[in-house]
């Protein structure tokens, strides 16, 4: 299995009551509707996932939103790509092998 939770330690970073209290509360509050904005409009499809709006360690309900699987996958992919590019931009330029 690739992607998603494979090789991730995210579950261990979530509070113990994530599945029993926090996640169900956010989904109910958002009426199980995706809150992602696409071209300025709320997606509105059936949400089955809870996403951190900002800091991934801030589990307050006001910092969480319900998302559909497609929107959550897109957002997570974009964040992963942004992190990869940020790391790549920090590496020093490699010297040309012919100049060593």
Would you list the domain boundaries of the chain? 10-73
Q: Can you give the pLDDT at residue 100?
A: 61
Q: Indicate if the pLDDT at residue 7 is higher than 90.
A: no
Residue 67: name the closest of 79, 75, 59 by CA. 75
Q: Can you give the pLDDT at residue 6?
A: 61
Q: Where are the alpha helices (DSSP H) in 14-97?
A: 23-29, 69-90
CA distance 37 to 29: 17
For the entire predicted model, the pTM comes to: 0.74
Q: Indicate if the pLDDT at residue 1 is higher than 50.
A: no
Q: Indicate if the pLDDT at residue 5 is higher than 50.
A: yes
Residues in the chain: 100
Higher pLDDT, 51 or 96: 51
Q: Can you give the pLDDT at residue 4?
A: 56
Q: Each residue of 21-39: pLDDT tens digit?
A: 999 999 999 999 999 998 9
Average pLDDT, the chain: 87
């Amino acid at each position: 299995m690739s992607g998603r939770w494979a090789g991730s330690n995210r579950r261990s970073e979530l509070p113990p009551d994530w599945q029993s209290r926090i996640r169900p509360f956010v989904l109910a509050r958002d009426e199980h509707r995706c809150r992602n904005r696409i071209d300025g409009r709320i997606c509105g499809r059936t949400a089955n996932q809870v996403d951190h709006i900002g800091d991934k360690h801030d589990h307050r309900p006001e910092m969480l939103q319900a998302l559909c699987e497609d929107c959550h996958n897109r957002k997570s992919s974009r964040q992963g790509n942004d992190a990869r590019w940020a790391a790549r931009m920090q590496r020093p330029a490699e010297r040309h092998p012919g100049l060593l």
